[in-house]
Structure 1
Amino acid sequence: MDTVDIVMDDLRAEATKERLRTEEDIKATLKGTLVRVLNEKGGSAPLSVGSEAPTVVVFVGANGMGKTTTVGKLGTRYKKEGKKVLLAACDTFRAAAVEQLATWADRAEVDIVKPLEGAKNPSSTAFRAVKKAQEEGYDVVIIDTSGRLHTNHNLMGELRKLVSVVKKFKEGGADETLLVVDASIGRNAMSQAVNFREEIGLTGLAVTKLDGTARAGFVVSVVNDLQLPIKLVGVGEKVEDLRDFEPEFFVEGLVG
């Protein structure tokens, strides 16, 4: 059932019972409905851990969504948990992205695989990273990719190739393939999620910049309509501001 229909059905049911007497009553019902939808549809789920090392996490999405920063923060989190972490800088279009990720790697004291000089094929960098991780006993490989719109068929084809490279090392492919979306992009997040899922398969979303004025109401529709969980949220600039998704906390910020 469509998210709006679910909300309206619950509000009508409460109105029939004469329980909606104030604005606070309406808000309380709305919050309860949204939390229920998010929980029932598996809106929050922990990051998957591979049955065999290394666990591979791939981040995808459009430009400016915060992929590289999210990769760096997640790498730092895993390092603090005592894991041996390898970052893969597969954004071969922006030298600045490679250097940005290298800075994160230095801060976290984790290793990084960069594109070879002059190389423009991100799949080769992913291949080298996962191969290195298997041979040298890494626990986690986190792959950063170039920003791309789902409407760019050539770049999506390139991404499909990268995903297939991971499958050469791990049956079933990456343990997580996460679409990174900015909280402010609104309903466009739905179309991105639909198309990226069709092209390469997704295991969930990471929603960045939830510390601003954007409420990211699209999250409920993504979870309800697409059955895609929100695996991570960014609520600030600090490393510890990359958090697991908590439906109750999110809905409180959404409804107020």
Structure 2
Amino acid sequence: MSLKDELIQDRLPSHVAIIMDGNGRWAKKRGNARVFGHKHGVTAVREATETAAELGIKYLTLYAFSTENWNRPKTEVDALMSLLVSTISAETSTLMKNNVKLNTIGCKEELPKSVQAKLNTCIEKTSENTGLTLTLALSYSSRWEIIEAVKRVAADVKADKLNVEDINADVISDKMATAGIPDPELMIRTSGEHRISNFLLWQLAYSELYFCDILWPDFRRDDFYRALLDFQGRERRFGKTGDQIKK
């Protein structure tokens, strides 16, 4: 029996988030510049997206570029931005074929105009697709997102659109960049690091975390299946006891 055949269809998560880590180390092991790893990481992105779409997972969020990544060497950042433009152009037809809708979260205004233009074109072209929603977190950090959400709440209070007493978790969630998207049930991080790295801190409150040693360019369908099988073997209690869940 294949790993895919072991999956229980009605116990798949509706939303999976992935920290795609290890591109630089993958390239370094091969004596190449870090961008070489990023280029090969595109294959893993394609496989993860197609796997999620085929399984019927509704949301996949990929941590593609953090606000902190702007501090990397300019040559690497420039190469990444160029790669992002070419990848979006090349993969649009694949997204259409797989009925995938593209979405982004993050401070998009910080991205080069060429990247923004390609993103906007692809988002518009895939906007009517009804399968998987693929969200790219670009120029994103969770602290930035939370700060922006707090500003929106404060503005509503100042404009008398919201009472302080009415602020709750739902109000905050509605002000997040991910408003309208369910919180991830599963977060995967590759490369052996055991950190969340400023990614979806609010949304990951009750997510199952899965860490694997595989460097991102080597991440394939079976690796995704293993993460999903691990998820299906866990008991999600949300603060309750195991006995309460089983009732």
Q: TM-score range by the shorter chain?
A: 0.3 to 0.5
User: With CA pairs under 8 Å and 6+ residues apart, which has the higher RCO, 1 or 2?
Assistant: 2
